[in-house]
Structure 1
């Protein structure tokens, strides 16, 4: 619990502070006076002033931060102070300052994705399981063991990349062309799937699985072998990959364990791969008592091995990949929001702080790579959300500035601005309530 809370506070604090740093950096270069930059909210714990008069503060509630600018010069202020007020800036500078926060979040996401591509990550190879009968993949002739190499002509190096390329076709439906390599000789062929539009509900089935596309189950591999067990007597060694057992090809860990348990005292034919050499073996599982039931045991630990590929790009390719992935993810987020508005996607997809905290803890436990991907995803969400044309958000201010530009430099009236802020506040609080309602609905379901 404490670990999850820490991971959540670190993520939200980092991302919101980075958002505010975007506002701060551009405002400073536009000549706007910054009164305070606070890391956190609430009572100030520590503070200091720099030579420009900006107060740098550390506040008690570590959930983000804020930048306080000089909006209007006080009466009787000198010319320099008047020029440093935010509302005295030309329209182009005000637009730049407001847009800088969301753009900083998008740049952070692009940087994280670039860093991961440079670093190189181990991802599951895109080797497909046998599709369920009647699914689009089965109708297209996809077979167990097919290696997916491209989606609609876009090359994919891993299952993670394949899932991403398939999100858009699954969201809107239509025709999708898969390029697959068939084992054992790697012959390439095309498989055309006709997909229907799917609702990405958080509690619903996996749309990829519904289309018949799933990752092949991890291979069963012999782990530690007991010195006096049946496995050692039959000649099994640690690292042997189970290719077939009792006539079943490439059994999963669960399937292999079930085969052994169901055959106490029966001769079992095995085919294993030992350092790229296939071997034929036989063994007879020992009959043991397990809670009053006789089951088979072979005296060896069975491990799961998922084929992995190292995805690593050069500097320029990594940068392009990071920018492109951020752009694609931003567009996908906007499209999903649009589909929610028209009712094509469930509003249950909106998540609040409880769900975000849960994912923060889960990804942090998995490792740094997963946590960084989580940070990039939430950073994109913050950036896109703040660009929505809702008064009270950055996008709402940009909407007012657009109207001002269309009116020839005449800003909207205070009455219209106040009304817009009230409407925007109502929308934002409604979304917050819906997000919390969804969080607790999942929590107590």
Structure 2
């Protein structure tokens, strides 16, 4: 843990699980146990503390290509875990996970770019690409994941296909539901913009 960002990331990766922290307190070191709880308003896992950076500075690091390649796989895996943790935390509280449509995505991209410049823009581009890949492989009609369900069903039935008209009807219903969700989510994005609220919680 080198900064508050690392701490927040670790808390969200271990949401709902018991963590052991080694902290400096009163001139000595002490091990404490904490269990992050999902906060519905913040939309993430919290442990009930406020952090303050002392003597903060920016440091640029260059890694060899093989290290950067390894880190890319690690970061991608951690992102998948963060998505899973966020969704499970929201559902455990009886609420829907925070979603965003095209309008919200544009807002997020603008906020990341404004805060982080080119690095922020590249970061949000990578995050969006991975999230879209995850969404696309979910077993949702009309998406690739939905098509894979029918392919697997055909394999289980030893080559017997689902009638094309029935499969088409399923995809049509999925398309209608997806468009409806986009409309509802986009309306929520517009309300957030009207209220002047940041998607990132600022």
TM range (shorter): 0.7 to 0.9
Report matched runs for 1:210-225 at 5 Å: 211-216=48-53
Cα gap change, 1:350 to 1:425, in 2 (>3 Å) = same
Shift, 1:348, TM fit: 6.3
Q: SS of the residue aligned with 1:374?
A: helix
Aligned to 2:123: 373
1:79-118 maps to which residues of 2 (within 5 A)?
Answer: none
Give the total of aligned pairs.
194
Q: How far, CA to CA, are the matches of 2:44 and 2:186 in structure 1?
A: 24
Measure how far apart 1:406 and its partner are.
Answer: 0.9
1:350 touches 1:438 (CA, 8 Å); kept in 2?
A: no
Match of 2:5 among 155, 160, 164: 160
1:350 to 99, 114, 118: 99
Q: Distance in 2 between matches of 1:336 and 1:351?
A: 14
Contact residue 336 and residue 345 of structure 1 kept, 8 A: no
In structure 2, do the counterparts of structure 1 residues 426 and 324 end up closer, same or farther at CA, with 3 Å as the change threshold? same
Matched, 1:176 2:13: no
Which of residues 183, 195, 215 in structure 1 aligns to 2:36?
Answer: 195
The answer to whether the 8 A contact 2:39-2:45 is kept is yes
Normalized per residue, which structure has more helix?
Answer: 2
User: Over residues 417-445 of structure 1, what are the superposed CA-to-partner deviations in whole Å (9 max), with x where a residue is unaligned?
Assistant: 02211221133113212321220121223
Task: Look up the SS of the partner of 1:351 in the other structure.
Answer: coil
Long gaps (5+) in structure 2: 196-202
Is 1:319 the counterpart of 2:47? The answer is no
2:198 paired residue number: none
* 1:368–1:439 distance in 2 versus 1, CA, 3 Å: same
Aligned to 1:430: 180
Q: 1:178 to 1:388 in 2, by over 3 A?
A: same
Report the RMSD for the aligned CA atoms in angstroms.
Answer: 2.8
1:334–1:384 CA contact under 8 A, matched in 2: no
Structure 1: runs of 5+ lacking an equivalent: 1-155, 220-305
Task: Return the offset for 1:194.
Answer: 3.3
Stretches of 4+ aligned residues off by more than 4 angstroms = 181-184, 309-312
Partner-residue secondary structure (3-state), 1:444: helix
Provide TM-score, normalisation by structure 2.
0.79
Residue 109 of structure 2 corresponds to: 360
Write the distance in 2 (CA, Å) between the matches of 1:312 and 1:191. 34
Specify whether residues 328 and 409 from structure 1 end up closer, same or farther in structure 2 by C-alpha distance, changes over 3 A only.
Answer: farther
> Alpha-carbon deviations, 1:281-323, whole Å to 9, x = none?
xxxxxxxxxxxxxxxxxxxxxxxxx334445544333222211
**1:315-370, CA deviations, whole angstroms, 9 ceiling, x for partnerless residues?**
33322221121122123324534555x46364361112222112222222331111
Judge conservation of contact 1:179–1:188 (CA < 8 Å) in 2.
Answer: yes
Q: Cα deviation per residue 1:156-211 (whole Å; 9 max; x = unaligned)? A: 333322221111333xx242112345698xx6542321333333x4xx48754x61
Greater share of strand: 1
Maintained 8 Å contact 1:333/1:384: no
User: Are the equivalent residues in 2 in contact too, given 1:182–1:188 (CA < 8 A)?
Assistant: yes
Provide, for residues 366-390 of structure 1, a one-character-per-residue CA deviation record: whole Å limited to 9, x for no partner. Answer: 3111111111111111111111101
Corresponding residue number in structure 2 for 1:134 = none
Q: Compute the TM-score of the two structures, normalised by the length of structure 1.
A: 0.39
